């Protein structure tokens, strides 16, 4: 960690566990963007004790916290082997006392959708895009030996949507992006339409395209970023919420490099993620250690 004591004073270490020669830690802090206390998990590989290393941000899916990925994916083994820091934030603001925030698993608490809401009563706190793409990286690079230049992003389901839009809306910020079962075209899916209606207003407002990866990639003009999509063919949400083929089609029309792996027999779960997480880490390492 750095000697940035002023910033460090704002971080509270919630837990610390030795893992594959490094440390899996969880910190809490008061978020300026979200107006509440937030948790994030960070895996520090043993190489981080000797200096700056690359960082990968992981965005989790609906109803998850910072705990799901670090407990179920097995990422620590590969992060240690390949000398990368892995950061996994929570999925939404919590405890904001907004009416209806706890009414359903796919909207409100645990379902921030990694966008900046424009509608009342959500727009004050539900600013997960600004949190994960601006505030959190500043905290991480100020307090840990994480590179500002060598960073990538990945995610699952709602978090896959988040990873895609963070990369597309911040050209050049991430060297690579990958997803598991991403919500690729939320404007046409059940989960996405519910979230966008509540956070952004009716579709007639025309703001939905600003937060839909399939629409964003059609007008992307930044530096190349290789996108890896991973999708289980047995995923029950494939035809109602995810639509990876729509995104791939838009990428090809815009000449954006994209890889789609369709996995026979795999579903939407962490059993699936744990099976292929090593492959994803190696995808990012190609660019982070280049």
- pLDDT number for residue 3: 40
CATH code for position 241: 3.40.50.1820
Kindly report the average pLDDT of the chain as a whole number. 96
Rounded-to-5 percentages of helix, strand, coil across the chain: 40, 25, 35
Task: State how many domains the chain has.
Answer: 1
Q: Residue 25 above 60 pLDDT?
A: yes
| Cα 280 from Cα 273, distance rounded (Å) | 10
Q: Which two tokens stand for residue 251?
A: 């990428």
Between CA 205 and CA 212, with CA 210 as vertex, the angle to 5 degrees is: 105
Residues marked active site are found at: 157, 235, 268
CA distances from 16 to 43, 75, 181, 201 (A): 10, 16, 30, 41
Nearest of 95, 80, 99 to residue 34 by alpha carbon: 95
Q: Is 255 exposed, middle or buried (0-12, 13-18, 19+ CB in 10 A)?
A: exposed
Euclidean distance between the first and the last CA atom of the chain, given in angstroms as a whole number: 24
- Mean pLDDT value of segment 181-188: 98
pLDDT tens digits along 114-160? 999 999 999 999 999 999 999 999 999 999 999 999 999 999 999 99
Q: Length of the chain in residues, anyone?
A: 290
Question: Which range of residues forms the domain containing residue 259?
Answer: 5-288
CB-CB contact of 280 with 250 (8 Å): no
């Amino acid at each position: 960690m750095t000697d940035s004591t002023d910033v460090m004073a704002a971080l509270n270490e919630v837990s610390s566990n030795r893992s594959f020669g490094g440390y899996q830690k969880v910190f809490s802090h008061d978020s300026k963007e979200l107006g509440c206390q937030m948790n994030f998990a960070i895996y520090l590989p043993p190489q981080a004790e000797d200096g700056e290393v690359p960082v990968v941000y992981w965005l989790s899916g609906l109803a998850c916290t910072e705990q799901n990925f670090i407990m179920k994916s097995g990422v620590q083994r590969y992060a240690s082997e390949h000398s990368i820091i892995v950061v996994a934030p929570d999925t939404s603001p919590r405890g904001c006392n907004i009416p209806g925030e706890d009414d359903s698993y796919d909207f409100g608490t645990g379902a921030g959708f990694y966008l900046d809401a424009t509608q009342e009563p959500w727009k004050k706190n539900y600013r997960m895009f600004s949190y994960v793409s601006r505030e959190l990286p500043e905290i991480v690079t100020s307090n840990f030996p994480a590179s500002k230049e060598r960073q990538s992003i990945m995610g699952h389901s709602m978090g896959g949507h988040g990873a895609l839009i963070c990369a597309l809306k911040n050209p050049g910020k991430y060297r690579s992006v990958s997803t598991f079962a991403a919500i690729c075209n939320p404007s046409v899916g059940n989960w996405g339409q519910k979230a966008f209606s509540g956070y952004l207003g009716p579709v007639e407002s025309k703001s939905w395209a600003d937060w839909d990866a399939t629409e964003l990639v059609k007008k992307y003009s930044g530096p190349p970023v290789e996108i890896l999509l991973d999708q289980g063919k047995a995923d029950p949400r494939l035809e109602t919420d995810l639509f990876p083929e729509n995104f791939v089609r838009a990428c090809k029309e815009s000449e954006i490099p994209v890889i789609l792996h369709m996995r026979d027999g795999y579903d939407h779960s962490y059993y699936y993620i744990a099976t292929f997480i090593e492959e994803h880490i190696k995808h990012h390492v190609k660019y982070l250690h280049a």
